[in-house]
Amino acid sequence: MGEMSIEMLSPERVAELEDALEPIFDQACQGNEIAAMEMTGKDIVQLGKEGMAAIFVGFHRGKATCVIAFQFNITNGRKGADLIAMAGSKLLRFKAAYWPAIIEWLRVNGIEFLDAYTPNSRAELYIKKFGFDKSCAYVRMSLQ
């Protein structure tokens, strides 16, 4: 195995790697004010174990170091994906090596758009580094 590799995890593989994945997903959730209110790393791992999220893991020298998780939807008849978590060390190195392949995988699977709900402070990073091309404010009113 080379220094870096990436793997799209099956539900069984998510279960095997649960202890390594959960803290990295926690990092992703804690970095987003709205996500921090709605989900934890444990929640995302559970979605992966149930086949309700596609999870990619970047490995550096055999150790899981970064994660990317997607959920899928249909909006107004169009197939879309939500980037629900992205975090970890060496993330930009993995992005440089594997992001185009992940985007192509989404396209081949009929996904027409990719959304990422991110704090305003990170929107520019998503646009400049990950190729997102539109941004808008996402606002929320807590009712409970």
pLDDT tens sequence across 51-105: 999 999 999 999 999 999 999 999 999 999 999 999 999 999 999 999 999 999 9
State how far the Cα of 60 lies from the Cα of 47, in Å rounded to an integer: 24
For the segment 109-131, the average pLDDT, to the nearest whole number, is 88
Does 140 fall in a domain?
Answer: no
Does 56 fall in a domain?
Answer: yes
Could you give the 3-state DSSP secondary structure of residue 125? helix
Residue 6 has a pLDDT of: 96
CATH number at residue 110: 3.40.630.30
Q: What is the pLDDT of residues 27-57, one digit of tens each?
A: 999 887 777 888 999 999 999 999 999 999 9
Does 138 fall in a domain?
Answer: no
Q: What is the pLDDT of residues 53-64, one digit of tens each?
A: 999 999 999 999
The pair of structure tokens assigned to 31 is 């970095």
Pairing of strands 54-60, 63-75: antiparallel
Q: Output phi, psi for 74, to 5 deg.
A: -125, 120
Does 141 fall in a domain?
Answer: no
Q: Does 126 or 56 have the greater pLDDT score?
A: 56
State how far the Cα of 69 lies from the Cα of 49, in Å rounded to an integer: 12
Residue 1 has a pLDDT of: 54
| Whether the predicted pLDDT of 115 surpasses 80 | yes
For the segment 112-135, the average pLDDT, to the nearest whole number, is 87
Does 85 fall in a domain?
Answer: yes
Q: Across all residues in the chain, what is the average pLDDT?
A: 92
Residue 134 has a pLDDT of: 81
State how far the Cα of 55 lies from the Cα of 71, in Å rounded to an integer: 9
The number of folded domains in the chain is 1
Those residues with Cβ within 8 angstroms of residue 44's Cβ, 6 or more apart along the chain or in another chain: 21, 25, 28, 29, 53, 55, 69, 84, 85
Does 27 fall in a domain?
Answer: yes
Assess contact for 27 and 87: CB atoms under 8 A: yes
Residue 2 has a pLDDT of: 74
Pairing of strands 78-88, 113-116: parallel
| Whether the predicted pLDDT of 127 surpasses 70 | yes
Does 136 fall in a domain?
Answer: no
Structural domain span for residue 13? 4-130
Does 137 fall in a domain?
Answer: no
